[in-house]
Amino acid sequence: MVMTGALNSKRAKQGFLILEVLVAIAILMGLMLLILPAIHRFEAQLTIRQQVLQLAELETFVQDQFIAQFSRLGGYGCLAGMSQVEVGSSALKPIRLNHYSLDAESDWLQASDIGACASYGSVSGSLVQVDHVCDGLNVGDWMSVSNCSYIEQGQVLSMSASDFKVQIPSQVLTDSVLVSRDMPFYWFIKQGKSGANALWRRPALSGNALELSPNVSRMRVYPILDYDEDGVADEVRVDYGVMPVRKLAGLLLEYQYYQLNCTVTDRLFSYDTLRGDTWQYDGVCSRVGKLLINVRGER
């Protein structure tokens, strides 16, 4: 009898223990059902914050790219910068871009990257020595050589690791002169290597296109003009057309940028451009920016 009572007591204790375990499991499962959604919300908010920070860093990169490309398009020197700048619609493409599918809500820009190779040199007879090195410069390339009274065309005669020499007609220019190269390009928006839109540049005369930034989806360009060349901007031009570089004081850009592999939020904002477009963005994976670029070169 004593043995039987002990067994029953042991079984009862085991039963209570199993019941306590089951109750504890049920409580934990209930707590998990309450906690998991909060954890998921926290993780989602953390991801969004990280994406917002990454988008802010991306904006700095995109702005630096625009400034690097467009700040050198203005006039350099007293008589340099005689070329023109043109802003056009993707609906009316120049021949050099005719076979590209340009973004429908973006502009293309044609201008000369004068500042990519512009430096002062000293004249000795019919030779101009420039203590400067330009990327992509070759013997035989034509250069503009000018002072405040005259401008002449010369050819690169020789090059070294630290300087190059340009041959010009003798006794035309003397003393210090500005030597620059007129390199026309097109800037435009089309599909990039990632499959999404990107900012591209292509030489206007010959050569292949180069993808500059894979994170720009749209771009509108508005020249800022100084008609009387008094150093004060007179107009932000919102229509398309050709403008002389000497009247160009700056460029106003409207652009949309984005980051790949980003979780888009449901909340969308709208931005109306000066050309009448309405761009949608969420502020997490994409955003709209405006940038004022001074293109005035060295005078």
- For residue 3, what are the CA distances in angstroms to 8, 9, 47, 202, 250? 9, 10, 64, 97, 101
DSSP state of 261: S
Residue 225 pLDDT > 70: yes
Q: Has residue 299 got a pLDDT over 50?
A: no
Asked if pLDDT for residue 177 goes beyond 70, the answer is: yes
Average pLDDT over residues 103-119: 91
pLDDT computed for residue 116 by the predictor: 83
**pLDDT interval class at 97 (50, 70, 90):** very high
For residue 155, what are its two tokens?
């050819």
Q: How far apart are CA 98 and CA 120, in angstroms?
A: 38
pLDDT for position 58: 85
The torsion of the CA quartet 231, 185, 146, 121, rounded to 10 degrees, works out to 110
Mean per-residue pLDDT of the chain: 83
Give the per-residue pLDDT at 57. Answer: 86
Alpha carbons 99 and 122: distance in angstroms, whole number: 44
At 117 the pLDDT is: 87
Residues 57, 33: Cα–Cα separation, whole Å: 37
The answer to whether the beta carbons of residues 55 and 193 sit under 8 Å apart is no
Average pLDDT over residues 256-284: 90
What is the average pLDDT across 279-287?
Answer: 91
213: enclosing H helix or E strand: strand 210-213
Cα dihedral 125/130/131/132 (nearest 10): -170
Global pTM exceeds 0.95: no
pLDDT band at 80 (very low <50, low <70, confident <90, very high): low
Where is average pLDDT lowest: 78-82, 145-149, 212-216? 78-82
Examine the pLDDT at 81 and tell me if it is beyond 80: no
> Would you place residue 2 in the very low, low, confident or very high pLDDT band (cuts 50, 70, 90)?
very low
Give 251-266 pLDDT, tens digit per residue: 999 999 998 888 777 7
